[in-house]
Amino acid sequence: MTAARRISSPLKAATYETLIGLLSVTGMRIGETVGLDRGDVELGEGRLTVRHGKNGRSRELALHPSTVTALDTYVRVRDELCPHPRDQSFLVTNTGVRMNPGTIWHEFDRLRRETGLDRETLGRQARMHDIRHSFVLRTLLGWYRDEVDIEAQLPLLSTYLGHVHASDTYWYMEGAPELLAMAAERLERTWEQHS
């Protein structure tokens, strides 16, 4: 997000910062975020509606107050810098139209290289979809730390992510050593309590 703020065009900078932030705090897919229209983002109600989800499914997402504030800031900047957009897209380009996913991937690659999230530091190139994975892992780690019943909450997370089945969400948990360690620790405590 810091690298996005340094983009020379103020509208493009605000749009990319908002895009990356929205992906980070909602776990939305890129196409879902780009597909948002202005009427889909209801800041007064603290929610947004994903109308163009995977498999044509729609869903509503509750937004944290800090996210509402950030989105409101973007709306004010967007409307000042692009007072006459050419379509109803929530996130707009400098020409006032909906963002193109191919262009987003290209810009993300540039930002990735600029921030050092490259093969040398991670062992592989960071991908934009990794933001969705990070959202899932942060959510699950928070639940483990708070001693939440993961099994009971997983269907809610799956619905929030737009998954049809909770089992679709399990895929995001693979290969997360910290998550596996917390799960093992919880299991060990449960065994000790029942011994």
170 counts as catalytic? no
Given 29, 78, 98, 112, the catalytic residue: 29
Neighbouring CB atoms inside 10 A of 98's CB total 18
Given 110, 129, 186, 189, the catalytic residue: 129
29 counts as catalytic? yes
16 counts as catalytic? no
Pair of tokens at residue 158 = 């799956």
d(CA 174, CA 46): 32
Given 12, 38, 54, 133, the catalytic residue: 54
113 counts as catalytic? no
Nearest Cα residue to 144 out of 182, 191, 87: 182
d(CA 104, CA 47): 24
Across the strands, what pairs with 48?
A: 41, 61
Given 16, 74, 132, 160, the catalytic residue: 132
129 counts as catalytic? yes
- Proportion of the chain in helix, strand, coil states, percent, rounded to 5: 60, 5, 30
Active centre residues (catalytic): 29, 54, 129, 132, 163, 172
